[in-house]
Amino acid sequence: MNIDFNYDLEYDRKEYTARIVKIILKILLWIIILAGAIFAGWAVTRYCVEKTKMVGKSMSGTLEDGDNILINLLSYSEEDDPERFDVIVFEKNGKEHSYYGIRRVIGLPGERVQIKDGSVYINGELLEEPINVEPMIVSGLAEDGITLEDDEFFVLGDNRNNSEDSRFTSMGNVSRDEIVGRAWLRTNHFGIISKMNQK
């Protein structure tokens, strides 16, 4: 009888210990999953996506003043440069102030950009634009043509007659190392920016 009682007691103790171990393992697993999720969230916001706001009316027609923007920080690697008509986010340094600008890429490195009769010419050819924009009243620096360096991009706002962009010395061309990433999503009125304001 004593032997059976001791055996039952030992069996209950082992079953109880196994249950406790199982609970502890479940708790540890949840802690690991939670820590992984927090780390993944931090990594995404630190290295993949960043938030900014559209400031001003330079991109009206596509983006409005105060629009919330998600920037894809991984769009442009060493091998992948911005393409024509990409909407990029850049940080101009060394001018009167540092800020994020959001404009559309029009001229690519090595190209000659000229604005005449309100339209853009690339290497002497009229540029057919897939977006809705007005003819430009002011040609600025591009009136006689600008040849871009190997790391320079010529950018314009979609609100062509109310935009500070590469036509003006206050901004000038955007160099490759000033580009933060691609303007990806508008979040306050959801929209994929590359699909907006197309003809």
Residue 184 shares a structural domain with residue 130: yes
Residue 79 shares a structural domain with residue 130: yes
Q: Can you give the CATH number for the domain in which 80 is found?
A: 2.10.109.10
Residue 129 shares a structural domain with residue 177: yes
Q: Half-sphere exposure of 19 toward its Cβ, with a 13 Å CA cutoff?
A: 6
Residue 16 shares a structural domain with residue 113: no
Q: Half-sphere exposure of 103 toward its Cβ, with a 13 Å CA cutoff?
A: 28
Show Cβ contacts of residue 55 under 8 Å, excluding neighbours closer than 6 positions: 65, 99, 100
Residue 128 shares a structural domain with residue 36: no
Residue 40 shares a structural domain with residue 65: no
Per mean pLDDT, which range of 81-90, 98-107, 119-128, 176-185 is the poorest?
98-107
Reported as a single tens digit per residue, the pLDDT across 132-161 is 999 999 999 999 999 999 999 999 999 999
Is a pLDDT exceeding 80 seen at residue 171? Answer: yes
Q: Which domain holds residue 110?
A: 54-195
DSSP collapsed to 3 states, the chain = CHHHHHHHHHHHHHHHHHHHHHHHHHHHHHHHHHHHHHHHHHHHHHHHEEEEECCCCCCCCCCCCCCEEEEECCCCCCCCCCCCCCEEEEEECCCCCCEEEEEEEEECCCCEEEEECCEEEECCEECCCCECCCCCCCCHHHCCCEECCCCEEEEECCCHHHCCCCCCCCCCCEEHHHEEEEEEEECCCCEEHHHCCEC
Residue 161 corresponds to which tokens in the numbers above?
């007659």
pTM to 2 decimals?
0.78
Mean pLDDT in residue range 172-184: 94
Residue that has been written with the tokens 């009167």 in this structure: 96
Residue 115 shares a structural domain with residue 32: no
Mean pLDDT in residue range 9-23: 77
Residue 83 shares a structural domain with residue 29: no
Reported as a single tens digit per residue, the pLDDT across 19-70 is 888 888 889 899 888 887 777 666 566 667 899 999 999 999 999 999 999 9
Residue 42 shares a structural domain with residue 72: no
Residue 44 shares a structural domain with residue 69: no
Query: What pLDDT, on the 0 to 100 scale, is given for residue 2?
Result: 47
Query: Given 50, 73, 89, which residue is the final one in a domain?
Result: 50
Residue 148 shares a structural domain with residue 169: yes
Residue 161 shares a structural domain with residue 178: yes
Q: Among 168, 143, 144, which residue's Cα sits nearest to residue 155?
A: 168
Provide the number of structural domains found in the chain: 2
